[in-house]
Amino acid sequence: MPTYDYLCSTNNQVVEVSHSMQIKLTSWGELVSLAGLAMGDTPADAPVERLANGGQVVKATALKNSVPPCQVGGGCGGCA
């Protein structure tokens, strides 16, 4: 499941939570409920925004090298 960082501009806190890509959190109350945190002094309806991050989900197929191995052997360098 992907991990997202959210910023609450009311209290200036960044909270990291994991949830499915379909979920869109918009308030502090939703965020702390999902993260299992205490509400604190921040109003439940305080807006939060998802921050752009590096995206911590990678498909396994993206890790495979699509370039075929050198046919000569010994590592590329003799192929050119």
For the chain, residues with pLDDT lower than 50 are none
Q: Are strands 3-8 and 48-50 parallel, antiparallel or unpaired?
A: antiparallel
Which positions ≥6 away from 32 have C-beta within 8 Å?
15, 38, 39, 40
Residue owning tokens 């702390």: 32
Q: Is the pTM of this model over 0.75?
A: no
What span, in angstroms and rounded, lies between the C-alpha atoms of 34 and 25?
9
